[in-house]
Amino acid sequence: MQVSVDFLTVNLCEKDNYRYGGRYHITNAAETKKVGSDDLQTMGAIMEREAMEFDVVIVGGGPSGLSAAIRLKQLAAESGREIEVCLIEKGSEVGAHILSGAVLEPRSLNELIPDWKERGAPLDTPVTADKFMFLTETGSFRLPTPPQMNNHGNYIISLGNFCRWLGEQAEALGVEIYPGFAAAEVLYDDSDAVCGIATGDMGIGKNGEQTEMYMRGMELRAKQTIFAEGCRGHLTKTLFDRFDLREGKDPQTYAIGIKELWDIDPEKSKPGTAWHSVGWPLSTDTYGGSFLYHLNGNQVAVGYVVGLDYSNPHLSPFEEFQRFKTHPAVRGVFEGGRRVAYGARALNEGGFQSIPKLTFPGGCLVGCTAGFLHVPKIKGTHTAMKSGMTAAEAIFESLEAMQPGHEPASYAERLQDSWLWSELYKVRNIRPGFAKGLWRGMINAAIDTYLFMGRAPWTMRHHADHITLKTASEAPKIDYPKPDGVISFDRNSSVYLSGTNHEENQPAHLTLKDSSVPIEHNLALYDAPEQRYCPAGVYEIVREEDGSSPRLQINAQNCVHCKTCDIKDPSQNIVWVTPEGGGGPNYPNM
């Protein structure tokens, strides 16, 4: 038997070796080499890796992965069967890497755990008021709230805390959850079917050599592997390529969401208020907007979302967010308050026409790694949960008699018969309509919603975000104000509040296919946009004292795992790979 392993790596190193039946595959982004034991002796390869067997392995401890785990165990209990379900999460704990607004539509939760109130689900702030505003530079006026943004019956929550609660429910049902372990490899059997994943090695130094803390990764093998990695999943990218899952589909399009959590003056607190805006500070040719969600406990979640199909390379989503908070209609909320948390994450915006083929031999995709965000609602948790539950039902029906390499094709069929599919289909033309600017987008959205009721006889298309940048000379420069340290802040102080940390002595997880591209291409043509689209100050152009010899410095320690660089880099030269498990942000109450 021969097993190959897919990696998103640039340079071969000893952690890229995998032994099975006396043969090895070493794979990088460009090539796969088959080598034998003698070849590996010169590479110092570590040949043994422990393995564990499960019925189902789930990669990712977000809403979709946890919902799949819970539903699998529910079905097993209902049928009197025992199944082994394992979920791994690269964050230090379930919820550590979870960031969202968030307003939760409880539809899927009602289906999955009908007695969630009695079980103490952290949904304690029902939405009591919706406001949708248009901002000019100095003023604002209220717009009619689009029907998709009507939040009656929804709850303002911390999605991280909600996932922590879901994790408790899953563990109570017998799901084995392993936080702090990053899935680094997809395992394949001799029929090219997925047969599990392997966690990354720990204790590899920057030079690729083992340190005294070295610990070999572990294989988690399963009849079915569910990938619930979230937006721009690094292993999901390899599955797209290996199984042509994006063939005939529109490119996925993305946005970056940047969020802060504030303690505010109790007199300004309005628990249950969901406030959104469009307009200033973005120009009307750039898609984006804000949210302010008032939680209980005198807290406000504030955030800004910028579509990553923007064209001006001088634009900085982070700076736009900081500038937004200084608006006269917004600043007063935060005066006298204290910022307590910060984070950022990319989100899918492609919707219906960008959903890939969801299944392949040995597994399937669920949640945001597939792209089920409902953009007009600004919600994806209920759809992510539903996809995980549906995948669990499709897998369970065949699990007992399942043969290796089984493809759970009924998952896609079940999903197409669900409310999720029709919900996304009806709004498929709204987000691409904004490619023509804010006003055309809003007119298109109104026509599609009120005249065609989501049933227009056409489907608008998407384009890839990395191809949209103008050159630096073609776009106007943007003069951002300096942060005041009271309402607006710099990147370094912001990253500090994210709790981000990585083991410093490890191979870089932000890799370059070609080290010459950042200076010869990105800097020359686009004035190094990676300095601006990264919300954590990871990418920096440094020079000699006289301004000569520019080079790209990568401050990987700052990375909050938002994946924006992997998406927006105009040459697609930056490749995000998973660092050691447990690294990255540690978001509290986000």
Active site residues: 100, 345, 381, 534, 559, 562, 565
Our measurement of the distance from residue 534's CA atom to the centroid of its chain's CA atoms, rounded to an integer in Å, reads 15
CA distance 565 to 196: 28
Q: How would you write 322-390 as a 3-class SS string? A: HHHCCCHHHHHHHCCCEEEEEEEEEEECCHHHHCCCCEECCEEECHHHCCCCECCCCECHHHHHHHHHH
Instruction: Please tell me the distance from the alpha carbon of residue 227 to that of residue 87, in angstroms, as a whole number.
Output: 10
| CA dist 206 → 43, 210, 514 (Å) | 16, 9, 19
CA dist 101 and 169 (Å) reads 23
DSSP 483: P
Q: Which residues pair with 27 in a beta bridge?
A: 32
Helix or strand run (H / E) with residue 86? strand 85-89
**Whole-angstrom distance, CA of residue 231 vs CA of residue 348:** 6
Q: Environment class of residue 46 by beta-carbon count within 10 Å: exposed (0-12), middle (13-18) or buried (19+)?
A: middle
CA dist 70 and 64 (Å) reads: 10
What would the DSSP string read from start to end of 102-130?
-EE-THHHHHH-TTTTTTT-S---B--EE
The set of residues, in sequence order, having a beta carbon less than 8 Å from that of 450 and lying 6+ positions away, is: none
User: CA-to-CA distance for 142 and 44, rounded, in angstroms?
Assistant: 65
Cα 196 to Cα 174: distance, rounded to the nearest angstrom: 20
- Three-state secondary structure call for residue 181: coil
Closest CA to 4 of 29, 35, 25: 25
Q: Which amino acid is at 467?
A: I
